[in-house]
Structure 1
Amino acid sequence: MRFAYPMQKFQDWVTQQWVILRGKKINPEDFLWLIGPFGNLDAIGKDYIHQFAEKQNLIIQKDSESKGIIPSMQKLNLSETEFENLSESVIQFYENTDGHHLQFSVQWNPFFKFFGILLNKLFSNRINQLNIPTKNIDDSETLKSEIINLADPVTNEVKYTFWFRSIQSTGQVIYSGVYGISTLPSGKTCVKAVFPLPNGNATVLMIPSVGENGELILDSSGEKFGDAGFYFLLKDSKGEYWSKFIKSFRDRLIIGSENDIISAEQTLMLWNLKVLTFKYKIQQKINQQNSS
């Protein structure tokens, strides 16, 4: 039997050992659609992004033309009809995320709030990752949102796009994720979000579609390994890769616009029960509106 890397926090070792016992061993070269950056054994914050850039011989672009989590929405490979119906404001948000203000609210299912508190105490507060507020936020709280591109120093090609989000009033880091596009084994195109964790990551793959009112719908409701969904990845003590598909966990995001105001609702489900709901209000920054 294989074992997780021993020299780390006990709770990290236990969760990684569970992935090894319940997951599957993979060859990363055969699963490029799933592979993404792994975190260090300590905190996952801005320091990690700088360390990762140095390790990969990449530079942090400060004046990149690409300031969105998805450089071109054309890469989602939506049908011609879907793309024509997709809200122009939503396209602008994804292609120029840095040019928008974000506010959000949080509503927990009270039956799951204890798990959120436990997650924060054992993991999130320490590693500055997946650090979701455990109190309901009814009034919109402002998010500080930053796009950080890591690029090849010779070609200037963007290799990784980090979306770093924190609560503006407290500085609490909520997410630090690497965003992009991936193609599943089925050939379906999906939005890929990778959240580095100690010696591994959590990866969410979401299938895009367009609703009747031009809203973008991203859904991670897969049924088996290789589908859209939520995955844990890690390296064991021998450097071998392991992954576990979590069928019971699902993420659904609906983002649309009305009167130039973008709104989004993100629902996290576990065992077909609603865990929590994020609601976002998104507006273009004034200087961006004037220049467009």
Structure 2
Amino acid sequence: MTASLLDATTRLWVRVTGRTVDLARTPWLQGPVGDATHVGADWLAAEGARLGATVAPATDGSGPDRGLLASMAALDRPGFAAEALADPVRRFYERTSRWRLDAWVGWAPWAWPFGWAVAALFARRLDQLALPMRSLDLAHGMSSAVTPLTRDGEQVGALWLRRLRRTGRIVFSGLYGVVTLPGSGEPAVRVAFPLPAGRLVVLLRPVARPDGSLLLTSGPGAWGEPGAYLVVEGPRRVRARRIPVHEEFHVLLDAEGVLRTDHRLDLGPLPVLRLHYRLTET
């Protein structure tokens, strides 16, 4: 299957099996759209214009502090308070550009061929969602550049662009922010990954653990609850589908005071991969 045919097949699957949505009434599904041949960070200017926002200069630790979220307090709700988080956990999200990322990856044996095929046919070509296949690929760590979008002095989103330090290849390019869940009315972290003619939207529910760590989850659930959604924009209508991709991020301080993140990604009940990050403040 050629790369273009893989793209078209995925979009057709969403159009046939998904539901028609009105983006004006579902702001949590709005977001950037990628080009058919390359995603990378090419979408940022158009997304800034759509939001009526200014694209601030990017920084990767050598400039002003930039965070994926302007303040973790934007996630406060009954049962969650940002002030309950350990200080380094909160600083990571509010001053992300100050942190260096070192990572290790482990794929479930059954998922390795699938991951390799997606990387070879799709992710590397588009510079998007290029999940590393081996920990050796991550031996030099990841660079981390944060570019905020601001409107009327308020941050309305932030591009987080992560590259392999050894090769410079883009691994992830996503827009981070906070949205209100349509069912519960609770705030959640939203990450929108631009794709050709659409995007992948991931909604994550925050949980503060008693030890000061942060848990972000997108398990199974109903429409509009935390989870993963594929959105395809056509000339006449927009179609979206919830997909059985479930994630968990556990951001914690270890016994030696080192900030770490354990990232789990499952396909339905099946484990797909585990990523482990060591985060170092610079």
Please tell me the residue identity of whatever aligns with 2:212.
G
Q: Which of 19, 43, 48 is the aligned partner of 1:48?
A: 43
Structure 1 residue aligned with 2:252: 256
Please tell me the residue identity of whatever aligns with 2:247.
D
What is the rounded CA distance, in whole Å, between the counterparts of 2:48 and 2:77 in structure 1?
Answer: 32
Q: Is the 8 A contact 1:107 1:137 kept in 2?
A: no
1:239, distance to aligned residue in structure 2 (A)? 3.4
Structure 1 residue aligned with 2:27: 32
What is the rounded CA distance, in whole Å, between the counterparts of 1:274 and 1:240 in structure 2?
Answer: 34
1:203 is aligned to 2:201:
yes
Q: Which moved more, 1:222-231 or 1:195-204?
A: 222-231
Please tell me the residue identity of whatever aligns with 2:10.
T
Q: Is the 8 A contact 1:78 1:209 kept in 2?
A: no
Q: Which of 213, 218, 221 is the aligned partner of 2:219?
A: 221
Q: Is the 8 A contact 1:131 1:174 kept in 2?
A: yes
What is the rounded CA distance, in whole Å, between the counterparts of 1:47 and 1:83 in structure 2?
Answer: 33
What is the rounded CA distance, in whole Å, between the counterparts of 2:186 and 2:80 in structure 1?
Answer: 17
**For residues 79 and 137 of structure 1, do their structure 2 counterparts lie closer, same or farther at Cα, with a shift above 3 Å needed?**
farther
What is the rounded CA distance, in whole Å, between the counterparts of 1:85 and 1:140 in structure 2?
Answer: 34
1:270 is aligned to 2:277:
no
Structure 2 residue aligned with 1:4: none
1:73, distance to aligned residue in structure 2 (A)? 0.6
Q: Is the 8 A contact 2:264 2:275 kept in 1?
A: yes
Q: Is the 8 A contact 1:256 1:263 kept in 2?
A: yes
Gaps of 5+ in 1: 1-7, 286-292
What is the rounded CA distance, in whole Å, between the counterparts of 1:272 and 1:183 in structure 2?
Answer: 27
SS at match of 2:219: coil
1:73-222 correspondence runs (5 A): 73-79=72-78, 82-137=81-136, 141-152=140-151, 155-185=152-182, 186-222=184-220
1:55-74 correspondence runs (5 A): 58-62=53-57, 67-74=66-73
What is the rounded CA distance, in whole Å, between the counterparts of 2:52 and 2:80 in structure 1?
Answer: 41
Q: Is the 8 A contact 2:73 2:81 kept in 1?
A: no
SS at match of 1:38: coil
1:58, distance to aligned residue in structure 2 (A)? 4.5
1:222, distance to aligned residue in structure 2 (A)? 3.2
1:54, distance to aligned residue in structure 2 (A)? 6.0
Structure 2 residue aligned with 1:5: none
Q: Is the 8 A contact 1:73 1:95 kept in 2?
A: yes
Q: Is the 8 A contact 2:58 2:146 kept in 1?
A: no
Q: Percent identity?
A: 27
TM-score (norm 1): 0.86
TM-score (norm 2): 0.89
1:82, distance to aligned residue in structure 2 (A)? 4.6
1:80, distance to aligned residue in structure 2 (A)? 6.9
